[in-house]
Homo-oligomer: A and B are copies of this chain.
């Protein structure tokens, strides 16, 4: 049995000193100490770290396929991951290429990491899914380290963990302690929502954040791609949607090639891309390029010139949706699509005489939720026919829409008591659910708000074990009203990292002090990898952000 030791890490924090010029609204100040888990984030399920350490040299260290691995040199997903992680571990040390020939091989060196995919089907060329096996085992010992994983998805996580174990000793030598790690995620669905409608997000920003998601073992990019404000998705079937509905039809759109690039970049990092096309509300931008799609609002007996939600009483609406979602089902390979369904405002429907007549015909009375359900049920049937599963915001469940048994209900409303009741209610009805309410990262406040995100647990509600099992995870949401390329990345990281650990690590990993210590190092690592992750508190990183 190996003994735990504190790793020495090249980072210092100020002691808890007086607070300058700040009223006393700040919580007790944390003091940095090295965690016995070093800079591991999110914390793996089982970690043993020994006092014995080995050195790694940039000239000779290699990441290789194990002989028995089911993934070989043709698995470009792994081959490019090897290069990526080599770069992360030795990027700054590459200048020492000249030392190669002078260097004697040292018996205490760690010479290679062998990556061994154990299942006959490595899934190298596939897409990750909600049921993907993401587990891995990592053994760091002499003369080689071995990373075993049933599928490539676990191997990707294991490579990240391996890179997190590597540190610089006091002479700048890359080192790693002997270790045994057994790891798997607590929840299958660990997502980040980005919103490219309130502000257009250049592809470069999206890719940088996918890269950072992988460093945090997130596995779902929930792409809230269109909304009222703009429609940047360039549809092959309905190009006029972005032609008219984007902020600009050339500079502020995602072309099919862009979307493909995002999906492949994500796949190579074990990340699913789930697009959201929210209807019937949040669709103002759709109406610009698609005549008669939205409901004309009335002022008295005349159309007011403004439009409301999708018009649910026209057959053309459903023809359009069928064509549109058929395209979406081929463009996005993931098994799920997010259909929104939140915040439908009934004012416009109520004003429209044709809608009123339809309500009468259908015997809906004054209950416009029934009209909403009428629309959503037809939409769900359409999407089902494209062979996709769906996620929907909680209102659709709350309004009693008939749902397929495998529908995922996305909880986002209310305070803690309310969302916990909602989770209880959704799971009591037998539906799977994921949580976002406590993780609206667009809502900023002064101080260390990551601690609040960290303390929320999606299984904390009154319910049976069976109900708890229906919680498949959660998502951190960064709605776009106040973020764009100028400030998105530092606002998201490392605040989302707190959510990452809650969704990956064991339920009892709740020590806020230990989390602070590991997260401080993890954020400096993100900075060193070129990501402008903001600081947790007064501190410094050995290598400060350079991309100013």
A residues neighboring B (CB under 8 Å): 12, 14-15, 17-22, 26, 195, 198-200, 202, 204-205, 208, 227-230, 247-248, 251-252, 278, 281-282, 284, 342-343, 345, 393, 412, 440, 442-447, 477, 479-487, 489-491, 527, 532-540, 542, 544-548
Q: Across the interface, do B544 and A485 meet the contact criterion of CB distance under 8 Å?
A: yes
A481 proximity list for chain B (CB < 8 A): 19, 22, 26, 537-538
Q: Across the interface, do A14 and B230 meet the contact criterion of CB distance under 8 Å?
A: yes
A547 proximity list for chain B (CB < 8 A): 547
Instruction: Name the CB-closest residue of B to A202.
Output: B544
Q: Across the interface, do B445 and A14 meet the contact criterion of CB distance under 8 Å?
A: no
> How far does the alpha carbon of A491 sit from the alpha carbon of B248 in the complex, in Å?
27
Q: Across the interface, do B199 and A539 meet the contact criterion of CB distance under 8 Å?
A: yes
Q: Across the interface, do B484 and A534 meet the contact criterion of CB distance under 8 Å?
A: yes
Q: Across the interface, do A252 and B200 meet the contact criterion of CB distance under 8 Å?
A: no
A-B residue pairs in contact (CB < 8 Å), sample of 21: A14-B228, A18-B281, A21-B342, A21-B440, A202-B544, A202-B548, A208-B548, A230-B540, A247-B540, A248-B542, A252-B540, A443-B446, A445-B445, A445-B446, A447-B482, A480-B538, A482-B534, A484-B545, A485-B532, A486-B490, A486-B534
A19 proximity list for chain B (CB < 8 A): 343, 481
- New contact pairs (9) apart from A17-B284, A444-B444, A483-B534, CB-CB < 8 Å: A20-B195, A20-B228, A199-B535, A230-B540, A248-B540, A443-B446, A480-B538, A484-B544, A547-B547
Q: Across the interface, do A487 and B479 meet the contact criterion of CB distance under 8 Å?
A: no
> How far does the alpha carbon of A248 sit from the alpha carbon of B539 in the complex, in Å?
11
Q: Across the interface, do A486 and B540 meet the contact criterion of CB distance under 8 Å?
A: no
Given the known interface contacts A228-B14, A282-B18, A535-B484, the answer about A540 and B200 at a Cβ–Cβ threshold of 8 Å is: yes
Output the least CB separation between A256 and chain B (Å).
Answer: 21
- Among B20, B204, B393, contact of A479 (Cβ-Cβ < 8 Å): B20
A12 proximity list for chain B (CB < 8 A): 247
> How far does the alpha carbon of A393 sit from the alpha carbon of B22 in the complex, in Å?
13
Q: Across the interface, do A532 and B486 meet the contact criterion of CB distance under 8 Å?
A: yes
Q: Across the interface, do B548 and A342 meet the contact criterion of CB distance under 8 Å?
A: no
Given the known interface contacts A445-B444, A485-B544, the answer about A412 and B21 at a Cβ–Cβ threshold of 8 Å is: yes
> How far does the alpha carbon of A215 sit from the alpha carbon of B485 in the complex, in Å?
21
Q: Residue among A15, A17, A536 with the most chain B CB within 10 A?
A: A17
> How far does the alpha carbon of A444 sit from the alpha carbon of B443 in the complex, in Å?
10
A251 proximity list for chain B (CB < 8 A): 542, 544
A278 proximity list for chain B (CB < 8 A): 20
A482 proximity list for chain B (CB < 8 A): 446-447, 534-537
> How far does the alpha carbon of A545 sit from the alpha carbon of B284 in the complex, in Å?
26
> How far does the alpha carbon of A388 sit from the alpha carbon of B536 in the complex, in Å?
37
Output the least CB separation between A522 and chain B (Å).
Answer: 14
Given the known interface contacts A20-B228, A532-B487, the answer about A204 and B548 at a Cβ–Cβ threshold of 8 Å is: yes
> How far does the alpha carbon of A536 sit from the alpha carbon of B199 in the complex, in Å?
11
Q: Across the interface, do A20 and B535 meet the contact criterion of CB distance under 8 Å?
A: no
> How far does the alpha carbon of A489 sit from the alpha carbon of B534 in the complex, in Å?
12
A202 proximity list for chain B (CB < 8 A): 544, 546, 548
Q: Across the interface, do A18 and B199 meet the contact criterion of CB distance under 8 Å?
A: no
A204 proximity list for chain B (CB < 8 A): 548
Given the known interface contacts A199-B539, A545-B485, the answer about A14 and B479 at a Cβ–Cβ threshold of 8 Å is: no
Q: Across the interface, do A538 and B20 meet the contact criterion of CB distance under 8 Å?
A: no
> How far does the alpha carbon of A68 sit from the alpha carbon of B8 in the complex, in Å?
68
> How far does the alpha carbon of A537 sit from the alpha carbon of B542 in the complex, in Å?
35
Q: Across the interface, do B343 and A200 meet the contact criterion of CB distance under 8 Å?
A: no
Output the least CB separation between A416 and chain B (Å).
Answer: 14
> How far does the alpha carbon of A483 sit from the alpha carbon of B228 in the complex, in Å?
33
> How far does the alpha carbon of A14 sit from the alpha carbon of B491 in the complex, in Å?
23
Given the known interface contacts A199-B535, A444-B444, the answer about A229 and B548 at a Cβ–Cβ threshold of 8 Å is: no
> How far does the alpha carbon of A538 sit from the alpha carbon of B544 in the complex, in Å?
31
A198 proximity list for chain B (CB < 8 A): 14, 20, 538
Q: Across the interface, do A22 and B484 meet the contact criterion of CB distance under 8 Å?
A: no
Instruction: Name the CB-closest residue of B to A227.
Output: B20
